Amino acid sequence: MCGRYSLTTAPEALRRLFNFDNLPNLAPRYNIAPTQDVPVIRQADSAHNKGGDGGGRALSMMRWGLVPSWSKEISRTAPMINARAETIAEKPSFRAAFESRRCLVPADGFYEWRLEDGKKQPFRIGMKGGAPFAFAGLWEHWESPEREKIESVAIVTTVANARLQPIHARMPVILDPHDFDQWLGAEAGSSRQALMRPYPVENMAFYRVGLRVNSVRHDDPDCIAPLKAQH
C-alpha cells in the first residue's frame, strides 16, 4: 500500500517533468497523509467533462481518499486511499474512474514501515538522486444532496519489486514519463494494464528515517532526514 508520501520538489521543476499548463504555488510537503488535499495532474479539460482527453495537462488539488460518485456520504473511516491494480477494472468503487478518470500523482518519496526489534521502523523510498516521479492515480467527482462538491483521488498499488519486498509486500504503481500520455489517454484499457507493474529496482533507493514521520502533525524536513543524521 501507500499511506504516506512527500512532495518537496519546486513547482517549476514539476511543471518541466509533467508539462502542465498552470503553475500553482505549492509549498514543500514532507509527510502527506490521507484525507489531506494533494496535487494531482490530469487532462486539462477533464475537470469539465468528468473524463476524456484534453489539449494539455492541468494541476488540481484533490482529497486523498477516493469517494465514488454514487456514495451517499463521505466515509469518516478507512478512506479509499489505494486501489489494487489487480482489481480496479472490476471493483465498483474504482471501475468507472479507471475507465475514464486517470491521473498522475506527483511525489518525490513515499514511506513504508517494517517491524525491526519489535518496533515499526519507517523507511523513505524513492528514486536514486531524489528525483520526482508519478504515482498512477484514479480520481472521482462527488456531490452531496446539499450540492457540496469534492474531487478525490486514490493511488494505484501493485506487488512490490524485489528490492522493496523485504520492507513491504506492495508498492505504488510508478509510471515512467514516457508512459504518462498512455495512462492519461483514452486508448483501450488493455494498453493501460501493462503499465501497472512493479517499478524497476535499479532506479530506486531507500533509507531509514526517524519516528517523527509517524505522526501526521509533523510536516517538516526532519521527516525525510536519514536516521543517522537525526539527534
The residues that are catalytic are 2, 112
Torsion, CA 129, CA 131, CA 135, CA 140, rounded to 10: 150
Q: 32: closest CA among 64, 79, 78, 74?
A: 64
Distance, in Å, from the CA atom of 39 to the CA atom of 62, rounded to the nearest integer, reads 6
Count Cβ atoms below 10 Å from residue 28 Cβ, excluding itself.
Answer: 14
What is the DSSP-derived secondary structure letter of residue 180?
A: H
Count Cβ atoms below 10 Å from residue 117 Cβ, excluding itself.
Answer: 5
Q: 2: closest CA among 88, 126, 100?
A: 126
What are the residues whose beta carbons fall under 8 Å from the beta carbon of 120, sequence distance 6 or more?
Answer: 113, 114, 214
What is the DSSP-derived secondary structure letter of residue 182?
A: H
What values do phi and psi take at 17, rounded to 5?
A: -75, -45
Contact 199, 174 (CB under 8 A): yes
Secondary structure element (H or E) that encloses residue 171, with its range = strand 170-172
